[in-house]
Chain A
Amino acid sequence: MDFLLELLQILVFPGILFAIGLAFVYEWLDRKIYARLQNRVGPLYTGPSGILQPFADFIKLLAKEDVVPNEVDKPLFNALPIFALTLSLTGFLALPIMDLRGVISFNGDLIFLIALMTLICIVIMYSGISSANRFSTVGAERAALQLLGYEIPMMLSAISIGILASSMWVYDIVSIQANSLWFLIGPGILGFAIFVLCGQAELERIPFDIPEAETEIVAGWLTEFSGRKLALFRLTKDVELLYLSGLAVALFLGGPSGPVIPGLEFILYPLYFLLKTLFVLFLLTTLRALFARLRIDQMVNFSWKYLVPLAILQVLIVRVVV
């Protein structure tokens, strides 16, 4: 029975199916809020207020012709979209949603979660290089450079929370925040800001959408992907958005914890998770609407001049508090 329950958890709730469904809804919300901030309407006609639009886009792309150019590295080119999706879904499984611990949960899983994000970026790099396209190559190069920029402050801010909880286990971090309101908003606030900014870079959204900057290098590393592969990459991006906001919630906003009525945890926990991730999503979307795209050198500059020192400061603050 336990095995079956676990399988159900991985496949349906809060596992893969839930992740994909929620990812589509979040993409819709992201587009809707972005449109709202720009005084537009956003998706409108597919489903009520266009809620099915991301899903419809996905289906449409699945049905499109899948072009594989002659010059590409075929095994890599075909496998990379699946790799990317697998990585982001795996990450989602480790997030605490129904419980204070995720479906996958082990001591030290924070390191695993951060490594996953870097791996996704490496997949992106490979997909750019394997495409054998000039725009893709430039995109891959930029993705790698950008990784050098945002990875260190992101890790530092995540690790500072680990130091705060004296553990590298997301479960420990969430429970310590669940037990004390001070840890929830106090020492981690700077880290949260850094994490959200770096998350924006990880997700390649304005102002850090440099690797796929449309007006400069067409679609960057995505240029050669079409049909099913593009659909999978888009889904990856959506799941990654969800995963990143979930991780920010788990690390800085106390995960799914909140005031609960005993016996109703299984409803209230996912509800709190949704509310908190929505808040992070709103922050991410507002950032997207607020700025112009930076140049790659400016991004790396910004990151090493401001984000890294601030992240170190965050670690110091945490050190003093503990």
Chain B
Amino acid sequence: MSMLKEIQKSLFKKKATVLYPFKEREKVHIPEGFRGKIVFDRDKCTSCLLCARFCPSGACEIVTDEKGKRPIFHLELCLFCSQCQEVCPKGAINLTEEFELAAFDRKAFTIR
């Protein structure tokens, strides 16, 4: 009968569901230190290429631009393990709390 009591209670309780994508967006609580979208700071990068060496899924591609070698991050391959952030000696790579990463265009997944 303990179940009956619980059922009665939830009849008048607030619903547990968060109507996330349409309403109640603000209720989705993202804690500090969440591993989300990668942000890259070109000015801090020293072209040490450690990020590409330790990336487990090959999401870090090394290209050459006017200042020398640098990584490009492919979010469609990324595991969000933040290993690149950990090994970066200059703190040029950061994982933000942004998690809504779906897009129609593949280009949106490439972080320059």
Interface residues of A (CB under 8 A from B): 36-41, 44-45, 286, 289-290
Contact = CB atoms under 8 A, between A and B. Distances in A.
Nearest to B16: A39
Interface string B1-14: 00110010011010
8 contacts: A37-B10, A38-B10, A39-B13, A39-B17, A40-B15, A40-B16, A40-B17, A290-B3
Interface residues of B, number: 11
A269 to B, nearest CB: 29
Q: Which of B7, B19, B22 has the most C-beta atoms of chain A within 10 angstroms of its own C-beta?
A: B7
A87 B79 CA distance: 56
A290 B10 CA distance: 13
Interface SS majority for chain B: loop
Interface string B67-100: 0000000000000000000000000000000000
A85 B20 CA distance: 38
Contacts of B7: 37, 286, 289-290
A36 B10 contact: yes
Given A40-B15, A45-B22, 8 more contacts: A36-B10, A38-B10, A39-B13, A39-B15, A39-B17, A44-B19, A286-B7, A290-B4
Nearest to A36: B11
Contacts of A41: 15, 17, 19
A289 B15 CA distance: 16
A36 to B, nearest CB: 6
Contacts of A289: 7
B22 to A, nearest CB: 8
Contacts of A286: 7
A37 B12 CA distance: 9
A37 B13 CA distance: 9
Contacts of B16: 39-40
Nearest to B14: A39
A40 B11 CA distance: 10
A36 B11 CA distance: 6
B93 to A, nearest CB: 39
A154 B88 CA distance: 74
A286 B7 CA distance: 8
Contacts of A44: 19
Contacts of B11: 36-37
A267 B16 CA distance: 39
A40 B22 CA distance: 16
A286 B6 CA distance: 12
A146 to B, nearest CB: 23
Contacts of B10: 36-39
A286 B19 CA distance: 25
A41 to B, nearest CB: 4
Contacts of B17: 39-41
A274 to B, nearest CB: 21
Contacts of B15: 36, 39-41
Q: Which of A39, A41, A44 has the most C-beta atoms of chain B within 10 angstroms of its own C-beta?
A: A39
A44 B18 CA distance: 12
